[in-house]
């Protein structure tokens, strides 16, 4: 079956509505977590062209690199470390306008300037995070937060 993503060129909201609907359709009837995370990362990267977008999954009390799109990245992150480890520890979304000002930021790529990390939560437990990086300062806002939180809420395992 052909799986083509239709790129939307409208407002940011329209782009998110479009890609969220397509991610949902791609996950329909597919219960393999890695397959769904891989397609979600690919769809988001294709629509938005961010520097890096991907998932880290909690394994043996650390975050381990999962499906992603972009430059190679660090493979393991301890709880509380960097933006990802902090979002995990706090179980809340972190929107970082300038990663160079974030204490303990882990620079996987020196090109990354701003970042948003959304925890994936099931039954009150964080089981992973979605991490998005941009080459521009202050790139992400509440619109990104709202739609990315909705997209990860639709991902289950």
**112 touches ligand SME (CB under 6 A):** yes
**5 touches ligand SME (CB under 6 A):** no
Part in contact with ligand SME (CB under 6 A); list of ranges 16-24, 35-43, 75-83, 141-149 = 75-83
Binding residue (CB under 6 A) for ligand SME from 20, 41, 118, 131: 131
Smallest distance, ligand SME to C-beta of residue 149, A: 18
Q: Distance between CA atoms of 115 and 120, rounded to whole angstroms?
A: 16
Residue 54 CB-half CA count within 13 A: 20
**67 touches ligand SME (CB under 6 A):** no
Q: Which of 119, 73, 77 is nearest to 95 (CA)?
A: 119
Q: Are 64 and 79 in contact (CB under 8 A)?
A: no
Binding mask 35-54 for ligand SME (x = CB under 6 A): -----------------x--
Torsion over CA of 122, 13, 109 and 85, rounded to 10 degrees? -20
Q: Which is nearer to ligand SME, 37 or 77 (CB)?
A: 77
Q: Which of 107, 105, 41 is nearest to 68 (CA)?
A: 41
Binding stretches for ligand SME (CB under 6 A) = 52, 73-74, 77, 82-84, 105-106, 108, 112, 115, 131, 133
């Amino acid at each position: 079956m052909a799986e083509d993503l239709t790129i939307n060129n409208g407002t940011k909201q329209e782009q998110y509505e479009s890609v969220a609907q397509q991610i949902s359709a791609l996950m329909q009837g597919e219960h393999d977590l890695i397959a769904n995370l891989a397609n979600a990362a690919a769809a988001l990267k294709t629509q938005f062209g961010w520097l890096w977008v991907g998932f880290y999954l909690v394994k043996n009390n650390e975050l381990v690199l999962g499906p992603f799109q972009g430059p190679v990245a660090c493979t393991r992150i301890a709880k509380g470390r960097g933006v990802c480890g902090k979002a995990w520890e706090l179980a809340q979304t972190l929107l970082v306008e300038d990663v160079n000002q974030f204490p303990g930021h882990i620079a996987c790529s020196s090109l990354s300037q701003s970042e948003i990390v959304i925890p994936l939560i099931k039954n009150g437990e964080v089981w992973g995070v979605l991490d998005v990086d941009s080459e521009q300062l202050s790139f992400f806002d509440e619109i990104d937060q709202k739609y990315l939180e909705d997209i990860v809420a639709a991902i289950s395992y």
